[in-house]
Amino acid sequence: MEKTVITYGTFDMFHIGHLKLLKRLDAMGAKLIVGVSTDEFNDVKGKKTLIPYDQRAAIVEAIDCVDMVIPEHSWDQKLSDVEQYSVDVFAIGDDWSGKFDFLKDYCEVVYLERTKDISTSGLKKSLTRLLSVSSEDLTNAFNVLDILRKELR
């Protein structure tokens, strides 16, 4: 039997962890459906995205292993999506472990280990730290690098 797999995510600042997850999910079945959280739903979740929904959905849709992208509008739609798309496997990162066990009556539920040391939250924190560096400190750092570069010649 060829399985249909579904997952959900925001997919903001698409990174290698996202790609590895999608490839692992693709290997679990014949069809991969990805629910991308809309901007409005991210507001409900208290998430601030850098990339608007239509662009995030287009990026995910462009990945070869993804067969279909659907908008994720609410927490409640997962069960109706499982039924509507005849989903065999619901899979998501293990940071959600146990949260979707209610779907086990309708399909297999799998929590996959996340890619170590990479997350959108981590990238956003690094970006915030970088942006908080004063222009004077950046200028001084570039001046030091320029001096070092000249000395190494």
From the list 45, 48, 99, 125, the catalytic residue is 45
**Residue 116 is among the residues annotated as catalytic for this protein:** no
How many residues comprise the chain? 153
d(CA 26, CA 24): 5
**Is residue 65 helix, strand or coil?**
coil
d(CA 133, CA 151): 26
From the list 20, 23, 31, 47, the catalytic residue is 47
Neighbouring C-beta atoms of residue 147, cutoff 10 Å: 10
**Residue 47 is among the residues annotated as catalytic for this protein:** yes
Catalytic residue ranges: 45, 47
